[in-house]
Amino acid sequence: MSHPVHPGKTALVTGGASGIGLGIARVLLDAGLHVIVADVRADHLETARAALAEAGDRALFLSLDVGNRDDWQRARETVEERYGRLHILCLNAGVGLLGSMIDSDEADWTWSTIVNLAGVTNGVDALLPHMLAHGEPGHVIATSSMGGLIVANDGGIYSSAKFGVVALMEELRRALVGTSVSASVLCPAAVNTNIFDHVRMRPEAFAGKSVPDERVLVEAEAFARGILSHGRSPLEVGEMVRAAIAADAPYVFTDSAVRPTLAARYNALLASVGA
């Protein structure tokens, strides 16, 4: 099947105004595509507008809350009115929510699930029918995480949603066999982004019962930045995504060093099954 990474084609990237999303947007713009950079944060959209200014009118900046189905309907209308057809859908928006599952509350689960999982299902519901209907080569790629395959000690809430993203995209890929559209899942390891700074932008509706101590929050953010600063750059990940779409790869991993960890999980599952 032919791939859609060609000049003149159109892509939409959620969470596209910072981090991995901005890296993907820049790479696709450099490949000659039109890119709708969608994000919930107005400040990030303005920063991205300046960063991608050289792309001119091939970059369109769109306010989009991935948990809001009305926003997705408006996104589809924007695609159809401005470009006619969408070819690449990058469902990348996500929030990094870590902490004890025992100490969590309903707001923690709801916020993580709405953004990290419903943000993907809403995008598929809104735009996959459009992509199938026009019949040109298309691709849907969603950002999960290594946390979508392996659970860290404090990552139960986050991983519950990210495991769902892997399952969704694996089945979507199978369901799309024989159509003009394919699907992949991106499972990043450490990438130099702001993924764990989201506690400060948490919507009031999902504030939860506990307010993090400022000193503890600052220390946690600094620790996360220190680890992620040694990871891939968003632009490198953007190139990996472009190459994966062109090759129709089912999975995209950003670091081969995860192989032993994946093997250990696989072997533990087999050992539990028995002979």
Say which CATH number the domain at 42 has: 3.40.50.720
Residue 3 lies in a domain: no
Residue 253 lies in a domain: yes
Residue 52 lies in a domain: yes
Q: How many domains does the chain have?
A: 1
Residue 70 lies in a domain: yes
Residue 2 lies in a domain: no
Beta bridge partners of 88: 11, 139
Give the other-Cβ count within 10 Å of 246's Cβ.
Answer: 15
* C-alpha–C-alpha distance, residues 274 and 178, integer Å: 37
* C-alpha–C-alpha distance, residues 164 and 191, integer Å: 21
Residue 264 lies in a domain: yes
8 A C-beta contact, residue 166 and residue 187? yes
Residue 50 lies in a domain: yes
Residue 1 lies in a domain: no
Does the pTM surpass 0.85? The reply is: yes
Q: Which range is most confident: 106-110, 167-171, 226-230?
A: 167-171
pLDDT value at residue 232: 80
Q: Which of 7-11, 155-159, 183-187, 262-266 has the lowest mean pLDDT?
A: 155-159
CB-neighbour burial class of residue 66 (10 A; exposed 0-12, middle 13-18, buried 19+): buried
- Domain of residue 105: give its range: 10-273
Quick: pLDDT tens for 53-74: 999 999 999 999 999 999 999 9
- Higher pLDDT, residue 204 or 95: 95
Quick: pLDDT tens for 167-177: 999 999 999 99
